[in-house]
Structure 1
Amino acid sequence: MLRTLALCCGLLALPTLASAEVELSFYGGAQSAPASDVVIRDAVIGNGDFRIAWEGRSASAPVYYGIRVTGWQSDSFGYGLDFTHNKVYPRDGELPAGYEVLEFTDGLNTLTVSAYRRWAQMLGDVSPYIGGGVGIAIPHVEVTAAGSRTFGYQVTGPAATWVAGATYPIGDRFSVFGEYKGTFSANTGDLDTGGTVKTDVFTNAVNLGVSFNF
């Protein structure tokens, strides 16, 4: 996963060298997820169709966080890469009978290529922005049942993200921001016993972060 992220960041850096501004952002916050349908198809674990109510537990290790690289081509338009470490745990009592673990907690990662529109200093020094993008889901699939254990990173399907927020400068190179961010990931993971686990997950997050501009 980290090699994929590093490669994509390197590819992004080439066209943005000529940009007026490159921005590196780090953020965290409170992330949640509504319930989703889970489908298990496996000869050892058995077949299962159930609905799980998820929770994010953003502050529990491993914490929820994100990293974003944006090349601003003008005062109003930019594009870049966004990596988000989402998480989903079954709420208490939501784990299906026969399962010891069924979660994506290290995490329900997404890597997207995104475009952004901002309104520079529209409200005094405050610059509102919106954005969205598409990419891939790279979750850590964790399923333990019937004596089997699946535990590892997989590329499980497409992902999408959308964001709206505002940024405020605190110096020539630094700024702080707050935003709402949503993600969608379509996940079809391979089980170690030869079957699959499938679920489509939406997440919602309120983020606070800091950006370095160069």
Structure 2
Amino acid sequence: MTYRSLSLALAGGIFTLIATVPASAEMGVSVYGGFQTAPHSDIEVSDGPDFRAGWEGKSFQTPPYYGVRGTWWMTNLSKPNLGLSVDFTHAKVYANSETLASSGWSHFEFSDGINLLTLNALYRMRIEGTKFVPYVGAGAGINVPHVEVTRGSGRTFEYQLGGATVQAQAGVAYDFNENWSAFVEYKGNYSWVDVDIDSGASLKTNILTNAVNVGVSYRF
């Protein structure tokens, strides 16, 4: 199975879950932002020399890094500490000036997002007598990058299905009341990106994004 076919299967599973979540479950909606980075990654180009890209996250530059998450806690199944989430993250990376100089490309980034959509399993650990709720999670999904490449006279500027993504996270929430909470977390995503660029060529790279997120949640 290719990364693209796996990605389509994962996307189908995510939307099936959304359609079948019981209405009586404890639901939560979260929004978050934060500081996101990415280490260097190797770039494979089908019609040219491979090279190594240095990435900048530029988390607070427009369009900013952000995410939206929907969570179903299994209180109706007598497993209140187990949950499932659907998580969308607008992560992004920009090739640094050294990368552009060494590759000869004039523009290379996924700045309108690597755009990660994942289905995750969560486990929360309430601390008795406090309002703090640590949690961990892991999952998988798809990446949909906005591919921005300019090399010579060729230009690519479009959204594409890049491939699969895996995710891990750990954080702590603080419950203000039964409906509202705030949280801080680490979230990491490893994405296999396989996209088309100009002249019928392809580009492949594996991107690891690391983020420290701060957000708020509403439960109902």
- Normalising to structure 2: TM-score of the pair? 0.87
- AA in 2 matched with 1:34: P
Structure 1 residues 65-109: Cα deviation after superposition (integer angstroms, max 9, x where no partner)? 011111001321000211111111122322134211111111111
Partner residue of 2:90 out of 85, 89, 101 = 85
- Residue in 1 aligned with 2:5? none
The DSSP-based 3-state class of the residue aligned with 1:94 is helix
Question: What percentage of aligned pairs have identical amino acids?
Answer: 44
1:31-50 paired onto structure 2 within 5 Å: 31-42=36-47, 47-50=48-51
Cα RMSD, aligned residues only: 1.8
- Residue in 2 aligned with 1:213? 219
More strand by share: 1
Stretch deviating more after TM superposition (113-122 or 63-72): 113-122
TM-superposed deviation, 1:122: 4.6
Contact 1:122 1:128 in 2 (8 A): no
Contact 2:54 2:98 in 1 (8 A): no
Partner residue of 1:185 out of 183, 188, 191 = 191
Q: In structure 1, how many angstroms separate the alpha carbons of the residues matched to 2:205 and 2:113? A: 14
- AA in 1 matched with 2:41: S
**Where does the alignment leave 5 or more consecutive residues of structure 1 unmatched?**
1-5
TM-superposed deviation, 1:9: 7.1
Partner residue of 2:170 out of 161, 164, 175 = 164
**Where does the alignment leave 5 or more consecutive residues of structure 2 unmatched?**
1-10
Contact 2:131 2:176 in 1 (8 A): no
- Residue in 2 aligned with 1:143? 149
The DSSP-based 3-state class of the residue aligned with 1:106 is coil
More helix by share: 2
Q: In structure 1, how many angstroms separate the alpha carbons of the residues matched to 2:134 and 2:24? A: 20
Stretch deviating more after TM superposition (98-107 or 16-25): 16-25
Partner residue of 2:17 out of 12, 24, 49 = 12
Going from structure 1 to structure 2, the CA distance change for 1:212 and 1:147 (only over 3 Å counts) comes to: same
Q: In structure 1, how many angstroms separate the alpha carbons of the residues matched to 2:128 and 2:99? A: 46
